[in-house]
Structure 1
């Protein structure tokens, strides 16, 4: 899905006809759906709500109280049926940008049965001051006695000038700067390792591919690109199989510490999302507490019956 490829710091705006409706009783999605949603929930509405919850999106139409005639965005040819199915959706992080969102019935759009939906955005950009970024030192080298002694001597030599400073602010700035410079000089810069499950063979191919790209040798680059993808897939498959065996062994030994450690290695710090579900009486459960309680209870009917309830 295109939403998954958008960087988190970018402003995501979705506009269009989603053919989705939902009533104000689904306001359980706090920060996503507001009180202005005059139509009953349909199948597309359930999908849209799950999309918004999964990607932290905010439906602007539902948060601005207007007359009923300024809420509907589609009118049927029979002259009676009208619904709100066109939406302006934006990231929750940037929802304060939306100052107004409403439907303009008087706008001429030819023979279209939709009405014009407009939203006003106000974006204020601030210049970001550049700050000197401190380089992380390799503090693991302090375990070596020789390196630890050398670092202590370097620190002592640099702190001889502390006696000439009077204010606490100057003392702190001097201490921070001299400690960082001494660490970079003696310990060096900390290196961040590659994926632990990549083999040396794969790393060599990745490096060859990078050099080919820098030299402009696109023929070699494309050939190594396929080799790289196959090797990464092989290493990843072997890593997952190895971790599965370790998880199974830890579960048999009831070693919870090792069990959760191997599980964290597999998930790679990815936090799962919790989508809305339908209760047994057909009500939409969207808040995290209600969803967790629903999943704790066993299903009293077959899975195909559950999906038929969701579709209805």
Structure 2
């Protein structure tokens, strides 16, 4: 804050900037304001704003600071705790002719239970006429309420390469579909029927993929030593502490040795894959060694370059970006035109089975599933009854122009290349959607006749 030598207009200008800043902070967020306010609030208790352990007599600027705190329901923490005067003053005049408390730590009134202490520390030599002011807090972070989405089941798709597993999976999908109690009549119901059938069959036959151990080089010997070490962790005797250190050192030594052996073995496997041309296996091994790459930040900026922290603002910016990206495209309404709205002479022929089967087989493997979490491999390996059920569903969609909700929904995944995302229509790498947006996105069909699946019966294919 400006000193007493500055005009009142400058003081008000600073408070106006603080007002603008505080209006951007949500009420449920933690808020702490620290600084040299060049104001004396004194040692008189004033409601919940100040305590009686301030210092000196309140001046005009101290009164202005208190009014500001009352406006935003704040309180001055380093006036609330009983301390000797040598722990209250934060600034001394040149020549040490007088001492004042003008530096404060300000927090929300509802966060009093988090502040354990707050006062000045005159001891540290920081080459300044101000003292260090320190508050000890136990901050309660807001809970992150994640949106409830359909949990992705990690099916062991590698087993589909085995002919026995694939045959059993086909038979199981047909059997479950035939045993389904009451086939749903609506498109939504029919799509749920096929997805639940695939989910049950894949879980029963293929099973789930097993997670790799957290540390691949940990052996049973190390695990046994960890149990022994933990046994002596809290032993008060000197002998127990010596045994604890002994096992601890032994564990560290073994971990280093086993990790080196494991890394050497992995490097040998990578060399073998490179020599034999097993590129995919080599890629997976290298990816395992690198570990998961974590997103650094979810903060993005708007068109003006202003950073957006609020969840609603971030979502709104994504909506604005996608609308600009697909400018001119109708983002609302059905993907397909309804049949009665299409002239008879513009309607194409019905979908043939060979077209459906060709499009299904053309789906790429090892691609991220859509909202339904059904991988392409499971659709392609279904039994004949399940495929026929799916074929009838797609034919109905084509004929009626109506689609299940999941077909018209995409996932937007951010792929940040730096801490702050700057969205622009030209930057296509930030949007990974479309494609198999909701599951059977059946590619472009090769046919001399009009496309079998499309935006309309005379429009482009999916």
Q: TM-score, normalised by structure 1?
A: 0.41
Q: Which has the larger radius of gyration?
A: 2
More relative contact order in 1 or in 2 (CA 8 Å, sep 6+)?
1
Please identify which structure carries the higher helix content.
Answer: 1
Q: TM-score, normalised by structure 2?
A: 0.28
